[in-house]
Structure 1
Amino acid sequence: MSTSLIADYIAGKVRRRNPDLSTVELNELYLHESQFVDTSDFVESRSLENLPKFLNQYFEPVLSASVKEKLVVVLSLSALRVCDVTRGLKAVKGGAIKLIKKNSTKYDETALKMKK
């Protein structure tokens, strides 16, 4: 899908979930199409082995930016997949940390502070 179609799709979901909000309030919740990255031209298989290459290709400006907080968030539905993705991202500049429900909040806070 193009980035505009994805943004429209998510905007529709936001509207359906928040029927009582005004247009102004809904606009604050929408994601603009410029916040999405079109990755349809990535020709290699989408596997853990190619994940670092994928991130470096599409998110290199974020990863090498001179801003204080450099962050790419990868979401997963299962803790097992989070662990796999974390291992796959070891080759990416800056590495990765995993935040899973099983961990205590104190562990997650420590992991985030160590990455700064």
Structure 2
Amino acid sequence: MVLGAGVAGLQAIATAKRLGAVVEAFDTRAAAKEEVMSLGATFVEVEGAADDRGAGGYAVQQSDEYLQKQRSLVQERALKSNIVIATAQAQKLVDLLGMLVELTKKFR
């Protein structure tokens, strides 16, 4: 699963597909759906996103209700994934076995 379908996310999708992976991707921007699907990945869509057509390709602020739906859906899909690649700025946690880091043990 790839979170974020900007330049880095699209590259991650393309690389994973070349390696034979089944890839799902999420992005809050509606325009990302076509790009994700053109690479052969499944676009994970959360209903009720704010209209971002006038934002010049950037994400826009979403409602609290949307963010809760997003968290639930991404968590549900992430738990079924072998790897989750997050492309936005933040610290990353990689636990390939799902048992090496205390935070990931509860998801086993």
Q: TM-score, normalised by structure 1?
A: 0.29
Question: Which one has a larger percent strand, Structure 1 or Structure 2?
Answer: 2
Larger Rg: 1
Higher RCO (CA-CA < 8 Å; seq separation 6+): 2
Q: TM-score, normalised by structure 2?
A: 0.30
